Amino acid sequence: MSILRELFGPSREEVWRKLSEEIGGEFSSSFCRGQKVAAKVKEWTITLDTFNANKTVFTRLRAPYVNADGFRFTIYRKSIFSDLGKLLGMQDIEVGFAEFDEAFVIKGTDPAKVRALFAHRPLRELLQGQPAICLSVKDDEGWFGASFPEGVDELYFAAHGVIKDVERLKSLYKIFAVTLHYLCHIGSAYENDPNIRL
């Protein structure tokens, strides 16, 4: 075993190749686009990669989908600043499950749809199993990222650093699959292929 592997653990490529095999995805690596894993869930493609912002590396997952009604949300774990934000008028939709409501801040364009989405226990349990999470629906990726056609949004997750924990990455893929399924269930997504390649 090499000294570097002993100090830093397996490489990102090693971990992501293993993840790709376990979830039936496709690992790719190129000089320009870096390393990524793409896996199909029904008609959607969930893509794992990294990006740099302000000299910081982030791991992200993205899944473009056809948004049926324009519903968007953001969910993240509460912090010491969350109560201050609420005092200043920040939105925090409660979904009616005390332990979950205590752990997360949820914002959304339609509070009734937010409650319907997070009424599903499997999704709540998956989110509660994540040490840190910020999951949202975004319109597109702004000036320097992918631009989507009208009616296509993306489910989006990003975290500081390079995630090299296979079990956590598998759980994140499952969160995406379950969220997309439940978005269809509440009438906010279609199972159509959005024909977007990241």
Helix (H, G, I), strand (E, B) or coil at 11: coil
Q: Could you tell me the two tokens for 32? A: 């320009």
| Mean pLDDT confidence for 147-162 | 90
- What is the per-residue pLDDT across 76-95, written as a single tens digit (0 to 9) for each? 998 766 555 555 556 789 99
Q: Is the pLDDT of residue 19 over 90?
A: yes
Q: What is the mean pLDDT of the chain?
A: 88
Following CA atoms 76, 82, 83, 89 in sequence, which dihedral angle do they give, to the nearest 10 degrees? -90
Instruction: Write down the pLDDT at residue 82.
Output: 59
| Mean pLDDT confidence for 119-141 | 91
Q: Global pTM? A: 0.88
Residues 160 and 51: their CA atoms lie apart, in Å, by: 10
Contact assessment for residue 175 and residue 136, using Cβ atoms and an 8 Å cutoff: no
Residues 167 and 180: their CA atoms lie apart, in Å, by: 20
Contact assessment for residue 55 and residue 113, using Cβ atoms and an 8 Å cutoff: no
**104-109-112 Cα angle (round to 5):** 75
